[in-house]
Amino acid sequence: MTFSDQVLAKNHQFCIINKLAGQPVQPDKTGDINLLDLCKKYFHHNLFLVHRIDRPVSGLVLLAKNNKSAAWLSQLFKSRNVHKTYLALVEGQMPDTSGTLSHIIDDNRTGNKSKIRVAQPEEAEQAAITHYQVLGKTDKYTIVNLHPQTGRHHQIRAQLAAVGCPIQGDVKYGARRGNKDRSISLHAWKLSFQHPVTQEVNSFEAPLPATNLWQACLNIISE
């Protein structure tokens, strides 16, 4: 796959990239080539991050083309007016076929791992919220559709681990074993938002990674 294959949509305001698992969004201590550098080379100018997904996660990343677009896109994320859908393959059995995960995620994390506990009713305003629906099962894993309402550090990863369902490959949060490429089976699948001026609804979807595990997942959810 070339980088042009990762560019799913582009206009004069923003672009949508299908990030590969293991690809850093921005420069880090490894020095590995990152999404911002690839975008600069492809578009011949700097782009602006308005959100990010973890390095081992695949899927949609939205980048702004200029300062003005970065401002209103960042505000959409801040005001929770961007609808995000993730797919995950998890170990174990989810508490119900659908429901809501509500936890307090401690900012005082160690080893880049979030500390988490169940939110009490009086802590509702501070809680990390993720809505979920079980879509099916492979022979080893449960397929879960996730809609994060908030955006905390490692939110989905920590919350799934907290209910006994770590994401496949996510050894940081208790998965039985990791993947050779250090990826985890969490995919930023869909993203949509309404343009604040034109009122046009922009919706995007990232194809699932072309691995045997994800393709087995695709076959099940397409039935």
Mean pLDDT of the chain: 93
Output the six-digit token pair for 209.
């990674």
* Pure H helices in the chain: 3-6, 35-43, 67-78, 155-162, 212-221
For the question of residue 96 being annotated catalytic, the response is: no
As for how many domains the chain has, the answer is 1
Q: Taking 80 as the threshold, does the pLDDT of residue 107 lie above it?
A: no
Task: Please list the residues that pair with 145 across neighbouring strands.
Answer: 87, 133
Place of tokens 């039935």: 223
How many residues are given for the chain?
A: 223
Q: What percent of the chain has pLDDT over 90?
A: 78
Q: Burial of 183 by CB count in 10 Å (0-12 exposed, 13-18 middle, 19+ buried)?
A: buried
Q: What is the pLDDT of residues 16-53, one digit of tens each?
A: 999 999 999 999 888 899 999 999 999 999 999 999 99
Q: Taking 80 as the threshold, does the pLDDT of residue 200 lie above it?
A: yes
Q: Burial of 38 by CB count in 10 Å (0-12 exposed, 13-18 middle, 19+ buried)?
A: middle
Query: Whole-model pTM?
Result: 0.94
CA distance 62 to 73: 9
Q: Which of 5, 28, 32, 54 is catalytic?
A: 54
CATH number (domain holding residue 174): 3.30.2350.10
Structural domain span for residue 144: 3-221
Query: Which one has a higher pLDDT value, 112 or 147?
Result: 147
CA distance 97 to 75: 33
**pLDDT at residue 108, as a whole number:** 67
Task: Please list the residues that pair with 62 across neighbouring strands.
Answer: 16
